[in-house]
Amino acid sequence: MKQKILSILSVRKELLTRRVSLFTTQEFQRIFRSSYSQTKYFLETYAKQGMFVRLKPGLYAFEGRMPSGEEIANALYQPSYLSFEYALARHGIIPEIVYALTSATTKSTRTFATADLGFEYFKIKKQAFIGYGLVQDGRDRTRSVLMAEPEKAVADYLYFVSLGKRQMNDRMIIKGLDRKKITRYAKLFRRPGLMQIIQNL
């Protein structure tokens, strides 16, 4: 079968039409029915020219429709969902402006610096990897991202406080949150020290 010729103008138009902002090498191949070698050469060539941003091996952002940091956070390291300080700030539970996008994952703890942003992923127990769902992207209202519920973000954060890996934020406001739900999520971590912190809130 004759290989399809990739044109920079047709690729840009197709990505904009499909509203694609993030894609893997495999997804690009599927969209444009191109071979692996052709795709690799095209993406590497135009990443150098600024049309694409290489976020990590095999994951690209389209500069013409640059994704939000939240969208990148979900895609960069999977499985993951936004939580801890970033989610607490987004839910209005802490007043601080948080610059790093913090997420929970069941994989190893990792940090990334890409697209001029910092991304931090913290490992939690598999049985505690719940309590998140789709919320409206903070920048692009037409998109959704995975983020912890307010009560789960609190439980995730306080779990790391109980481990001594976070300082307790005295400006955290939990008024209006479901304390029973916070407790229910906290129990998933099976850590007595965390339950003591919850009781003292």
Is domain 8-65 given the CATH code 2.40.160 in the classification?
Answer: no
Per-residue confidence band for 4, with pLDDT thresholds at 50, 70 and 90 = low
pLDDT above 90 coverage of the chain, percent: 93
- Contact of 74 with 81, CB cutoff 8 Å: yes
Closest among 193, 140, 150 to 173, alpha carbons compared: 150
The Cα–Cα gap between 69 and 192 comes to: 35
Q: What is the mean pLDDT of residues 18-24?
A: 95
Mind spelling out the 3-state secondary structure of 114-183? ECCEEEEEEECCHHHCCCEEEEECCCCCCCEEEEECHHHHHHHHHHHHHCCCCCCCCCCCCCCCCHHHHH
pTM score of the predicted model: 0.93
Chain segment 57-110, per-residue pLDDT in tens: 999 999 989 999 999 999 999 999 999 999 999 999 999 999 999 999 999 999
In the chain, ranges of CATH 1.10.10 domains: 8-65
Chain segment 113-156, per-residue pLDDT in tens: 998 999 999 999 999 999 999 999 988 888 899 999 999 999 99
